[in-house]
């Protein structure tokens, strides 16, 4: 096991390295460079810009520039945004909480929906409940997130006006009061539901198949033959094996959550990293864009690694040697 963890962690190092080189090269291809963010609008003298470029090392070969850039990033210096005229760290810090909150609530709600439905569908196969759940699953798999989120916003935000149409909290609410928490939850509700209702597919599918496969296995038959009540057969014998991996799939969801947050935050004008990414790209604020892609990529790589390790710990069959 330790050997596996060690090997799996080692694979991550070249992955992160290649990712950072790729992003650096993309950043080089973007119009403007780190200097653009530091220049005021008055500095247009080409000679002076050239001097500054030389001083900032922007005329060095690319691998030296890459080394300097990655060195700064590792030390937590993400550069400066040219649009907001503040440190990228501060910009991200203001919004990362919102995105984490949204992603966490999507994950929790989707599990709250998917786990009971998966169990029902697997336990009572071919019942009308199973047919409904499988039908819902097909629908959720086929529905594009942005269309679904827009229609939710149109119905519950504009027509019925049950929920706010944008933002993450009412600006009049004071931090720390109950009102603030309620307002935050109300703003969170629509994007969470839009994301969660479409994120249940893989969990339901997995649980249903697992239970159908497991419930005819010999150890389950033995338990039944010994007179274990049916409900206990499920809780103690079948689900014990099937539920564990679901928790481990968490890390694989990160790439999907990042993609989803871009759509959800843009549709519900929710001030998070996805929205920051879109607005930075539109305003050509590339120092912000670069860091956001890098952070998302590293989050996905680390998440996948954790999932791999947890899964192989739970289920020794998938350990690679």
Q: Is 296 in the site for another protein (CB under 8 A)?
A: yes
Whole-angstrom CA distances from 88 to 80, 94, 115 are 5, 10, 39
Q: Is 171 in the site for another protein (CB under 8 A)?
A: no
Q: Stretches 51-59, 178-186, 229-237, 254-262: which one binds another protein (CB under 8 A)?
A: 254-262
Q: Stretches 12-20, 48-56, 108-116, 184-192: which one binds another protein (CB under 8 A)?
A: 12-20
Cβ atoms 238, 214 nearer than 8 A: yes
Cβ atoms 140, 201 nearer than 8 A: yes
Among 44, 142, 171, 178, binds another protein (CB under 8 A): 142
Q: Is 120 in the site for another protein (CB under 8 A)?
A: no
Please report how close the Cβ of residue 233 comes to another protein at its closest, in angstroms: 17
Among 39, 129, 150, 244, binds another protein (CB under 8 A): 150
Give CA–CA dist 135/237, Å, rounded: 28
Q: Is 79 in the site for another protein (CB under 8 A)?
A: no
Q: Is 293 in the site for another protein (CB under 8 A)?
A: yes
Torsion of CA 52, 56, 57, 58, to 10 degrees: -70
Tokens at residue 240, please? 């014990």
Among 190, 198, 300, 309, binds another protein (CB under 8 A): 300
DSSP assignments along 4-72, one per residue: HHHHHHHHHHHHHHHHHHHHHHHHHHSSS-HHHHH--TT---HHHHHHHHHHHTTTS-HHHHHHHHHHH
Nearer to another protein, 82 or 304 (CB): 304
Give the interface size with another protein as a residue count (CB under 8 A).
48
Among 89, 209, 241, 279, binds another protein (CB under 8 A): 209
Of 302, 307, 294, 299, nearest to 74 by C-alpha is: 294
Give CA–CA dist 31/284, Å, rounded: 8
Per CB under 8 A, residues contacting another protein are 11, 15, 18-19, 26, 29-30, 126, 134, 138-139, 141-147, 150-151, 153-154, 158, 165, 209, 212-213, 216, 255, 258-259, 262-263, 266-267, 277-278, 281-282, 284, 289, 292-293, 296-297, 300-301, 304
């Amino acid at each position: 096991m330790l050997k596996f963890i060690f090997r799996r962690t080692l694979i991550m190092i070249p992955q992160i390295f290649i990712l950072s080189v790729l992003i650096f090269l993309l950043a080089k291809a973007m119009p403007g460079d780190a200097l653009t963010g530091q220049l005021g609008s008055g500095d247009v003298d080409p000679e002076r810009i050239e001097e500054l470029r030389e001083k900032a090392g922007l005329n060095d070969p690319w691998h030296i520039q890459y080394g300097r850039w990655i060195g700064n990033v590792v030390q937590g210096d993400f550069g400066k945004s040219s649009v907001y005229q503040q440190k990228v760290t501060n910009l991200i810090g203001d919004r990362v909480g919102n995105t984490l909150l949204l992603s966490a609530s999507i994950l929790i709600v989707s599990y709250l929906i998917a786990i009971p439905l998966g169990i029902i569908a697997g336990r009572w196969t071919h019942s009308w409940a199973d047919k409904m759940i499988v039908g819902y699953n097909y629908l959720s798999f086929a529905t594009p997130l942005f269309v679904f989120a827009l229609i939710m916003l149109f119905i519950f935000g504009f027509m019925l006006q049950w929920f706010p149409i944008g933002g993450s909290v009412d600006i009049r609410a004071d931090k720390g009061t109950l009102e603030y928490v309620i307002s935050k939850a109300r703003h969170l509700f629509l994007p969470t539901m839009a994301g969660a209702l479409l994120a249940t597919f893989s969990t339901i599918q997995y649980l249903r198949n697992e239970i159908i496969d497991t419930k005819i296995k010999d150890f389950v038959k033995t338990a039944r033959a010994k007179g274990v009540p049916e409900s206990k057969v499920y809780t103690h014998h079948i689900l014990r094996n099937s539920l564990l991996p679901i928790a481990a799939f968490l890390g694989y969801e990160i790439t999907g959550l990042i993609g989803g947050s871009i759509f959800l935050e843009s549709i519900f004008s929710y001030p998070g990293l996805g929205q920051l990414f879109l607005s930075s790209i539109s305003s050509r604020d590339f120092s912000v864009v670069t860091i956001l892609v890098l952070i998302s990529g590293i989050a996905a790589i680390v998440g996948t690694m954790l999932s791999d390790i947890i899964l192989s710990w739970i289920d020794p069959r998938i350990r690679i040697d």
